[in-house]
Amino acid sequence: KSNKLQVRLVDGEGNICGEASLTVSSRQWKTYKTVITAKATADTRLEIIPLSAGELNLDMISLFPQHTFKGRKNGLRKDLAQVLADIHPRFIRFPGGCVAHGDGLKNIYQWKNTVGPLEARKAQRNLWGYHQSMGLGYFEYFQFCEDIGAEPLPVLAAGVPCQNSACHGDLRGGQQGGIPMSEMGAYIQDILDLIEWANGDAKKTKWGKVRAEAGHPKPFNLKYIGIGNEDLITDIFEERFTMIFNAIKEKYPEMIVVGTVGPFNEGTDYVEGWKLADKLGVPMVDEHYYQTPGWFLNNQDFYDKYDRSKKTKVYLGEYATHIPGRKANIETALTEALYLAALERNGDVVHMTSYAPLLAKEGHTQWNPDLIYFNNREVKPTTGYYVQKLYGQNAGNEYLPSKITLDNKDDKVQKRFASSIVRDSASGDVIVKLVNLLPVEVNTHVDLSGIGVIQPSAKRTVLTGKPADTPLPVEDTVEVAEKFDCQLPAYSFTVIRIKKANEK
């Protein structure tokens, strides 16, 4: 018997803001779609109302925008995806930190549950307490990375759940729990299967065929894989991480495995995590730390002191400046800009960085500050976002050593000013970054002797405001030469992009 359904959007006062109808005629599971055109802007709920008597089974109900980023099927919300793409990220970490290793063993994120047909994916709650439909799964993630030219960096649990897990009645699933050794073989195979899914031949490999059937015959060319997320470095962790690392190294020796050294930049887990990385020869480890502006100011030499004989490199996977009240403003943004200048100087050690957390929906945040806030209608980037964007769009690939000379020799003054000069070999552009966290304007002299012949004018971008402000960057053109003067406003981040002279 056919059954007609009314599908509508209703606001808090009961007003219908858009509606459509569907006729369900099959006694088997079948996909039905309709288009609703909104007549108003409002916070609404979706209502599905049967218009005739009968029995009806519904599953996988999804309200989805018609137009997605790059027009991808089941793709991402255009404005959110674009604001990420505008950073020009070199990589994207997914599915995040504690989401990956989950709230207990049964809540560990399982990538295989996220790559098939939408109606077949297995939804679950996560450690942060909200529901994941898995509509954004590994396929959509890898597709998005490819669309914006970013390397995927999937992060999987190292055989243990999050250190903040509750036991949920399973004594194996709390802080000291781990996947039983009898099940580790199957778990490791799941990780190896992910690499095959991403890189395997579409016709010759089992999981390569699954990827191809989803709509992507060509391999995704996965290069990085994260194992673990700021875990406690216990014997249980070490045993399981070692098994996973050795299995990946044996089958995929070219894969860059990113390990973990705990949740802080010091302490037992940090020390033991580095010992394990050195012992196994892990290519890279993921460091995390959230600190005050004072910490970042006083630790700009953190990686200057790094042992250059170490083979293991650093991925600073989670960091942010936190002030009382946990707000993002020009003070936090400029502190991060200062620290990023130090990280560029130490690019031989710190190969990757990512601010965290990245996205937060207004009214549904468990953590502040975040880089980008949004609601159902608009995206609201923070000032810190524009620092990340300016660094991402002006990263370069060659660091040019530089020296800062300030008339004021006070250490507190010296630490509030930073510079970084890089070259983009693809374009030949030289990029000068200058950060002034002082409450006064700084008149500086830039000496670029030896960089070659340059054009006489350059694009300048300045982000400036009072400490509590959340300003936007302003672009203009500035005259430049091999040597030129530059005025830096109080509390400012200045980026000058200088082009080489056109060859005749």
Instruction: Please choose, from the candidates 412, 394, 421, the residue with its C-alpha nearest in 3D space to the C-alpha of residue 480.
Output: 421
Per DSSP, the three-state class of 401 is coil
**What is the rounded CA–CA span in Å between residue 464 and residue 473?**
7
Cα end-to-end distance, the chain, whole Å = 78
DSSP secondary structure string, 238-254?
HHHHHHHHHHHHHH-TT
Residue 484 and residue 446 in contact, taking contact as beta carbons nearer than 8 Å: yes
Cα 479 to Cα 194, 393, 476, 484, 501: the distances in Å are 52, 21, 10, 8, 14
**What is the rounded CA–CA span in Å between residue 80 and residue 86?**
10
- In what order do the strands lie in the sheet containing 359-361? 359-361, 372-374, 379-381
The yes-or-no answer on residue 441 being catalytic is no
Q: What tokens appear for 500 in the block?
A: 């080489």
In what helix (H) or strand (E) does residue 433 lie, and over which residues does it extend? strand 430-436
- Residues constituting the chain: 504
4-40: string of b/e by CB count within 10 Å (b at 16+)? ebebbbbeeeeeebbbeeeebeeeeeeeeeeebeeee
DSSP summary character for residue 119: G
Q: What tokens appear for 497 in the block?
A: 């992009």
Catalytic residue among 140, 151, 196, 230: 230
Residue 432 and residue 451 in contact, taking contact as beta carbons nearer than 8 Å: no
- 454 φψ region: left (φ > 0), alpha (ψ -120 to 50), beta (else): beta
DSSP summary character for residue 427: T
Mutual angle of helices 138-148 and 181-199, in 10-degree steps: 40
Known catalytic residues are 230
